[in-house]
Structure 1
Amino acid sequence: MTATTDIDLAALLCSRLCHDMLSPVGAINNGLELYKTEKDSEMRARCMELLEQSARVSADKLMFFRLAFGAAGGFGEMVASEEPRNLLKSLVDANERLELEWAVAEPKLSKPAVKVLLNLAAIGLDALVRGGTLAVGAETSNGKTEIAVRAAGTKVAFDQTIGDALEGRLDPAELSGRTAPAHMIHLLVEKEGGTLQSAFTPDALVLGATLPAPELIG
């Protein structure tokens, strides 16, 4: 396999972030243009509602990517579980066809575990092209933190190259903005001495990870 550099991976992650931010930011720009030219007070009020909605979605996505991709400055080595829950809930609530089921037993998770959980959940959300339920669970026992994500709906779509990237089977030279987050998680889990799994049927995508418990890391 051809090795990818940190710069290559960072560039691809930035590409993914820009791709996901383009729609809500573009909506803000279009809304501002419409607001400037619209004279009807009722339509101007409607434009303002759409602007507020797009601004909220943009902020939610940026906060999500900050913790899922970035160094997440401001957090310690352990992150309160409500942080990833709130981030995922904000993304799910923006789409009426989606539902979140949260079953994380631990009050806090290690920063690597949170990063893995959010990225696996993002892959699950991408798979729910026609809506459905995203179930997220995590618990720590016997020195290990186990994470499970299940995306279930009427039609679940999953690009197998993402599964290959998760499990380290994709040549890094073939990475794209779509598969880069999965490759990043593979590298992170490998570094921590954990494992990743994925299973796919037309009705459900199941993703899992096992990481050493916080007291065993390092």
Structure 2
Amino acid sequence: MTSATDLAALLCSRLCHDMLSPVGALSNGLELLADEKDPEMRRRCFELLEQSARISADKLKFFRLAYGAAGGFGDAVPTDEPRELIAGIVAANERLQLDWAVTEPTLPKPAIKVLLNLAAIGVDSLVRGGVLAVGAENRGRATEIAVRASGPKVAFDGTIGKALDGSLDEAELSGRTAPAHMVRLLTEELGGGVQYALSGEALIMGAVLPNG
């Protein structure tokens, strides 16, 4: 069985993998800027640096709440926060669109984590762009979450599906599957569950987390 330490290490690996591109772009941009004398090219370098810095900051804020203990361990988190975090990730790709359908002012902290991680899986599946629809509702006894990723090509790694449904072999657990594995563990610890369905047009994921 994977220990909490192993899972934390895998989540750190995933975070580092996702941060490598925007941070690398920052480094490359600074090198170009140091050698560039043309005013127009320098302006362009600054634009690229600003974009990379914004993407890096958005990703760090996202992972801080999705994986870590941002905001402490309180019972509820304002839903404006995950909306802004997901919108920031979506905005980094002009081919993506966010359809936010969460009307609750706050949601339990575990539900926020599940929502963010399912949204990230949805974004990763839309390799040619599309619409990420995110919904959640507190029904008193439980919080229900639904994420739908639809687009011209939905690419979903089967090992992530196995991590969600609990059929993943220990040897297949990696930085790529660790977030889905964490979602399943979190929902099971609370007495809930997570499901997914994949078609040629969309990936649909849902979770139910009992409150209290």
Say whether the fold is shared (TM-score over 0.5).
Answer: yes
Task: Tell me which residue corresponds to 2:20.
Answer: 22
Point out where structure 2 has 5 or more consecutive residues left out of the alignment. Answer: none
Secondary structure, counterpart of 1:32 in structure 2: helix
Amino acid aligned to 1:14:
C
CA contact (8 A) 1:157 1:202 kept: no
Cα distance in 2 for residues equivalent to 1:74 and 1:15: 23
Secondary structure, counterpart of 2:16 in structure 1: helix
Point out where structure 1 has 5 or more consecutive residues left out of the alignment. Answer: none
TM-score, normalization by structure 1: 0.95
Shift, 1:75, TM fit: 6.6
Task: Tell me which residue corresponds to 1:175.
Answer: 173
Secondary structure, counterpart of 1:169 in structure 2: coil
Cα distance in 2 for residues equivalent to 1:54 and 1:147: 31
Correspondences of 1:110-149 after superposition (within 5 Å): 110-149=108-147
Correspondences of 1:1-218 after superposition (within 5 Å): 3-74=1-72, 76-213=74-211, 217=212
- In the comparison of the two structures, how many residue pairs are matched? 212
Cα distance in 2 for residues equivalent to 1:82 and 1:75: 18
Shift, 1:73, TM fit: 3.6
Shift, 1:19, TM fit: 0.6
Secondary structure, counterpart of 1:134 in structure 2: strand
The CA RMSD measured in Å over matched residues stands at 1.0
Secondary structure, counterpart of 1:209 in structure 2: strand
Shift, 1:142, TM fit: 4.5
- Moved segments of 4+, more than 3 Å: none
CA contact (8 A) 1:127 1:156 kept: yes
Cα distance in 1 for residues equivalent to 2:61 and 2:192: 26
Amino acid aligned to 2:29:
G
Could you tell me the percent identity over the aligned residues?
A: 70
Secondary structure, counterpart of 2:155 in structure 1: coil
